[in-house]
Structure 1
Amino acid sequence: MKKSVFTLALAFVLTSGIASASESHSSLSKSTEFPIENLADINLNSFCKAIITGNYDMVAELIEMGEDINKKSLGKTPAMYAARYNKAKILSLLIEKGADLSVKSDQEKQTAEELAVNSNAKEAIEILKKSGKK
């Protein structure tokens, strides 16, 4: 009797651990709160990954090669990622190259400026205000 109770309890613990891992993985893929150390595992395009990591040279080079600066990845534009993660220099470049700041994110229905405000991304907020684009 003790063995069967122990086996049942062990099976429950193992099963719930697998379910938790599965839930956390699926919620991570839907979220845009990316820990940089896990960025390689996220289904985000390379352009937006370069923005989140602050790789200005890569972003500039991709733009020169014809990257669409308004194409959404996981429901957000590159400018939204730059604003959300306070990548001010990259955000300035995107604005200079014609980023559409009036677009809203698919899930939150927020603009780049709203995402910056909600993230307390002070430098990005200043750049967005100075740009005069809405």
Structure 2
Amino acid sequence: MKKSIIISAIALCFSLGTVNATPLNSTRNTLESVRYFKVNSFCVSIALGDIDTVMKLLSLGEDVNQISNGMTPAMYAAKFNRTEILELLIIHGADLKTKNSKKMTAAKYAEIHGATDAALIIKETLAEKKKK
């Protein structure tokens, strides 16, 4: 009986404490402070490593060099070390030399995020293309 009374008293204290609470920044509309990043479904599939969806979208004519939230699909594949998907994008004509607004390439994303396998694939592909 004592436990239930104590628990009820604590719950009542918490509920009374929050009734009069006001937001810290009550003058600013909270909807204005929310940022929305729009990443297309193709790049989300790459980031998640969903190769089946990536292959489906490629067969439907998805652009392998489109920019989504400031990054190309190859940049997403490099960042998340999705090597199979990266190779698939390269086969379908992904431009590995493309720089985004931050002057970063897919190779730079692989380097920053420690994606050594993706970095190696990019390095070998660029070296091969240079020979041609």
Superposition TM-score, scaled by structure 1 size: 0.71
Percent identity, aligned pairs only, is: 39
1:91 aligns with 2:86: yes
CA deviation string 1:42-71 (max 9, x = no partner): 521110011000001111111111001101
Q: How many residues of Structure 1 are paired with residues of Structure 2 in the alignment?
A: 110
Q: What is the distance in 1 between the residues matched to 2:32 and 2:117?
A: 36
1:130 alignment counterpart: 124
Extract structure 1 runs of 4+ deviating beyond 4 A. 16-19
Aligned partner letter, 2:117: E
1:113, 1:12 → 2: CA distance? 44
What stretches of structure 1 of length at least 5 have no aligned partner? 1-8, 30-41
Point out the structure with max Rg over C-alpha: 2
Query: Which structure has the highest helix share of the two?
Result: 1
Q: Does 1:110 align with 2:101?
A: no
Matched residue, 2:46: 51
Runs of 5+ consecutive residues of structure 2 not aligned to the other structure: 1-19
Q: Deviations over 1:24-54 (max 9, x none)?
A: x32xx3xxxxxxxxxxxx5211100110000
- What TM-score does the superposition give when structure 2 sets the normalisation length? 0.72
